[in-house]
Amino acid sequence: MTLGPVMLDLESTELSAGERELLCHPLVGGVILFSRNYHNPMQLQALVEQIHALRTPQLLVAVDQEGGRVQRFRKSFNPLPAPAYLGALYDEAPEQALAMARQFGWLMAVELRALGVDISFAPVLDVRKAKSRVIGDRALHHDPEIIARLGRMLMRGMGEGGMAAVGKHFPGHGSVKEDSHTSLPVDNRSLETIRLEDMLAFERMFHYGLPAVMPAHVLYPEVDRYPAGFSRIWLEEILRRQLNFQGAIFSDDLTMAGAAMGGNPAERAQLALEAGCDMALVCNDRAGAIRILEELRPAHLSVTSTRLARLHGRHPVEREALQASEAYKKAVQMLSSLHQELELDFGEDTPA
């Protein structure tokens, strides 16, 4: 059995019989976890092991663990600062910020890999602009060159921790005010302007070897009549052909309001895959997920499965051994000093 092109969510901290059946469907290739799926490390590890045991090759298990407002697993995990802190530090001490970004990426990855999680949808490569509240401090910086430098170190740290990075939200979500969770944002800039501003960080990261990317549910009418995640122009012509990106493409959650123009759930998934996505995310809509599995008719499954299989997590360590290691202690000490300096507060968990 190959990895299918659909990623589903779970309702609670344990797999139900119905969920086991759904996850064995040949069109399913992964599971995305949320805060509701986490109680403590032992429970999470057991849940991931159950998911991985269902099939061969194993389903991908993913989470949004960016840091700051978007960190799904918190209790018994180290609280990670908002990515914007790294950008602020870069303005004062570039070399220190780059080293910290690498440590940040490593710590995020190894804590997840110790419990079996394959990937975190990070880093955010959007340009930070005042108008975008949903991005805000999730973005590393306002300068795309600096975003790329910090993003490269985050990606390197994640790779050293056994995890592939997923850059988001291509070609850039930072220049629109609206939140694609609740509406369809419209970015009226020209392609040339987008290339010179928001896309630059992505282009640099592709050159550095970014393994995967997630397009934005944002409409760029000067380029195409479809949002980026449904657009063959953005995904096949610009991303694949012009930018020569060879990694995996994940859709953003197809239940978001920004994806509503794609039709019913099955039509949205079909449109995303036909546009060039390798995997369609369907969250918080079990009826919609079932309809997708019943009606979806994907093509090129062998190519999709090959791209996705490269994202399985690597070289996990036992959690106790990890926590006893000098590298882990050093990273935690670094974060401890940040907590004192920034008086970090998670606030509300934010949709990603």
Give the model confidence (pLDDT) of 255-284 as tens digits: 887 788 888 999 999 999 999 999 999 999
Q: Which residues of the chain have pLDDT under 50?
A: 344-347
**Which CATH superfamily includes the segment(s) 28-51+67-284+297-341?**
Glycoside hydrolase, family 3, N-terminal domain (3.20.20.300)
pLDDT, residue 27, reads 96
Give the model confidence (pLDDT) of 45-85 as tens digits: 999 999 999 999 999 999 999 999 999 999 999 999 899 99
pLDDT, residue 349, reads 53
How far apart are alpha carbons 70 and 184 in whole angstroms?
21
pLDDT, residue 262, reads 85
How far apart are alpha carbons 148 and 158 in whole angstroms?
15
12 torsion bin: left (phi>0), alpha (psi -120 to 50), beta (else)? beta
| Residue 159 CA, distance from chain mean position | 15
pLDDT, residue 345, reads 45
**Alpha helices (runs of H) in 5-40, residue ranges in sequence order:** 17-23
Active site residue 181: yes
How far apart are alpha carbons 63 and 99 in whole angstroms?
24
Among 25, 39, 181, 285, the active-site one is 181
Among 252, 253, 278, 312, the active-site one is 252
Q: Where are the domains of the chain?
A: 28-51+67-284+297-341
pLDDT, residue 342, reads 63
Q: Strands 60-63, 166-170: parallel, antiparallel or unpaired by DSSP? A: unpaired
Active site residue 349: no
CB distance 108 to 158 below 8 Å: yes
Half-sphere exposure of 276 (CA within 13 A, CB side): 25
pLDDT, residue 204, reads 98
pLDDT, residue 336, reads 78
DSSP per residue, 271-318: HHHHHT-SBEEE-S-HHHHHHHHHH-----HHHHHHHHHTTS------
CA neighbor of 67 nearest in space, from 124, 114, 145, 129: 124
pLDDT, residue 303, reads 81
Helix then strand then coil, in percent of the chain rounded to 5, is: 45, 10, 40
CB distance 120 to 166 below 8 Å: yes
How far apart are alpha carbons 349 and 113 in whole angstroms?
22
Instruction: Tell me the pTM.
Output: 0.94
Report the Cα–Cα distance between both ends of the chain, in Å, rounded. Answer: 30
pLDDT, residue 106, reads 97
pLDDT, residue 86, reads 93
Give me the sheet containing 248-249, strands edge to edge: 166-170, 212-215, 248-249
pLDDT, residue 352, reads 60
pLDDT, residue 261, reads 85
pLDDT, residue 347, reads 45
